[in-house]
Amino acid sequence: MNYSGGFLQNMYVNLLKARMLEEKIVELYHQGRVPGSVHSGVGEEATFVGGCLALNEDDYMMTTHRAVCANWTKGIEINKIFCDLFGKKEGTNCGKGAAIRICSEKVLGMSGTQGGVFVIATGAALSLKLLNKKSVVLAFFGDNTSNRGTFHESLNIASLWKLPVIFLCDNNQYGISINIKDSTSVENIADRGVAYNIPTKIVDGNSILAVYEATKEAVNHAKSGNGPYLIEAKTYRFRGHMEGDQRSYRTREEESQWMEKCPLRRFENKLLEQGVITDTWIVTEKNKIEKEIENAISFAENSIDPGKEDLFKDIYA
C-alpha cells in the first residue's frame, strides 16, 4: 500500500511516543516514583500502536497490563496517564487502579483477571450490534491468555452472532517465565480461530505497518457485518515480565537476536531511507515528546491524592 509522507510521519511520532513513554515509566519506577509493579511494553510498541491507529474515534479498545502506551495512542491525555501511574485523583480511575486500570469512554480498561478481556470485549461488541452502531471493539491479549476457557467461549459466541470484535494477540513468546512452546499446543495461536470459523492473520508484530494493515482489514471486515477477526502479532518483550525480573529463563543471545528487530529502529531506518524523515526532524520530535512527558509528570506529581471519601466511589458490585 502507498501512504503519504504525512501519514508515515504521524505513525512514526506515535511509535516514538510509545517507546519514550514506556522507557520513562521504567526509569521512574527505578527511581522509586511509581508505586506498585511495572510490566514494561518496551519492544512491543508496534503491535499496540499499529492496532490502535487502525481504529476510528468511535471505536473501542481493551488493553493489557503491558500496553500503557496504547492508551495514549487511543486518545487518553498523557496528564491523566501519569496521574493513574502515580495514584492521583485526577487520573482516569481517580487514583485507585494504577496504570493497568486506565480507562475512558472508548478505552474499556483491562480485566482484573487474565482472560477476562475476551468476555468483556465480546459483550461490548454485542452491545454495539444491538444498538446498530458501526463501531468495533479491539481487544489486545497475551499469548498465554489464549489458553483460558474464556478465549474459546468468546470466539465461539462472537462468531455465532457475528459480533464486531477484533482479537489481537500480542505474542511476545513468554507468559511470565514460560516460553510459549512449553505452554501452548499449537505453533500459531491464530490457527485456533479456524475452529470457530473466524478469519485469521499472522503478522510481524515488530512491523507497525504490518500490524496496522492487518487491523485495518479486520476493522473493515467487522464493520461490514461479517463478524470477528483474530490477529496474531509475533513480537518480543525486551524486558522481564515485570521490573526486577532477572530473565534467567532465557538466553542473552535470544534477546540480542530479537533486539536487532527493534520496531522503532526498523521503522525509523525505513523512513530515513525513503526520505520521509531526517535526523534533524527526529531530534525535534523527540524534544517535543520529552517536554510533553516531563510536563505531564510534573502535573501528576503536583496533583492531589484520593481521600477516604473516594474509597467506595465508582463501585457497582
Closest residue by Cα to residue 163 from 191, 136, 190: 136
Three cell numbers, residue 305: 491524592
DSSP state letters, 176-194: TTEEGGGT-SSS-GGGGGG
pLDDT category of residue 314 using cuts at 50, 70 and 90: confident
Q: What is the dihedral of CA 308, 31, 111, 103, to 10 degrees?
A: 70
Residue 101's pLDDT is what? 84
Give the C-alpha separation, 133 to 270, whole Å.
38
pTM (2 d.p.): 0.95
3-state percent helix, strand, coil for the chain, nearest multiple of 5: 50, 10, 40
Q: Are 38 and 65 in contact (CB under 8 A)?
A: no
Residue 211's pLDDT is what? 99
Q: Where are the domains of the chain?
A: 5-303
Closest residue by Cα to residue 237 from 210, 205, 265: 205
Give the C-alpha separation, 126 to 141, whole Å.
19
- 151, 203, 250, 316 from 242: Cα distances, Å: 24, 25, 15, 30
Residue 128's pLDDT is what? 98
200 backbone dihedrals φ, ψ, rounded to 5°: -135, 165
Q: Are 125 and 154 in contact (CB under 8 A)?
A: no
Give the C-alpha separation, 168 to 157, whole Å.
17
- The C-alpha R_g of the chain, in whole angstroms, comes to 19
pLDDT category of residue 315 using cuts at 50, 70 and 90: confident
Q: Are 16 and 287 in contact (CB under 8 A)?
A: no
- Per-residue pLDDT tens over the stretch 222-275: 999 999 999 999 999 999 999 999 999 999 999 999 999 999 999 999 999 999
Give the C-alpha separation, 126 to 163, whole Å.
6
Q: What is the dihedral of CA 76, 80, 84, 90, to 10 degrees?
A: -130
Three cell numbers, residue 295: 510536563
Q: Are 184 and 215 in contact (CB under 8 A)?
A: no
Contacts of 199 (CB under 8 A, 6+ apart): 193, 218, 221, 229, 230
Q: Are 131 and 163 in contact (CB under 8 A)?
A: no
Mutual angle of helices 116-130 and 149-160, in 10-degree steps: 20
Q: Are 166 and 139 in contact (CB under 8 A)?
A: yes
Grid-cell match 501519514, residue found: 7
pLDDT category of residue 207 using cuts at 50, 70 and 90: very high
Sign of CA dihedral 233, 237, 242, 243: negative
Architecture of domain 5-303: 3-Layer(aba) Sandwich (3.40)
Give the C-alpha separation, 306 to 14, whole Å.
31
> How confident is the prediction for the chain on average, in pLDDT?
96
Lowest mean pLDDT among 97-101, 255-259, 283-287: 97-101
- Per-residue pLDDT tens over the stretch 41-53: 999 999 999 999 9
